[in-house]
């Protein structure tokens, strides 16, 4: 994995880091994964900065008021073979 000239980061790397972070991986585990799978060295600081970018949006989203009604539909079925 090679970063093109005049670029600091690969496209799509933010989404990968956020996905791993959401799954509970630490910054060290994410850095180790990138080095093992992609052969790219990503510092823990870079990973932290990527996750901090969306921390404000996440806090705002989680504090939003909920809807008064949440419609729910349960579907159940039983299949019986009749000879």
- For residue 19, the model assigns a pLDDT of 84
Question: Residue 76 pLDDT more than 80?
Answer: yes
d(CA 50, CA 60): 17
Q: Are 33 and 27 in contact (CB under 8 A)?
A: no
Q: Where are the alpha helices (DSSP H) in 7-72?
A: 13-22, 27-33, 44-53, 55-62
The predicted model scores a pTM of 0.57
- For residue 38, the model assigns a pLDDT of 78
Q: Are 27 and 44 in contact (CB under 8 A)?
A: yes
């Amino acid at each position: 994995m090679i970063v093109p000239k005049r670029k600091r980061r690969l496209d799509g790397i933010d989404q990968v880091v956020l996905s791993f972070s959401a799954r509970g991986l630490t910054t060290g585990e994410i850095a180790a994964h990138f080095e093992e799978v992609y052969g790219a060295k990503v510092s823990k600081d870079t990973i932290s900065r990527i996750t901090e970018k969306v921390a404000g949006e996440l806090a705002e989203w989680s504090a939003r008021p909920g809807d008064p009604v949440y419609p729910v539909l349960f579907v159940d079925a039983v299949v019986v073979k009749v000879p």
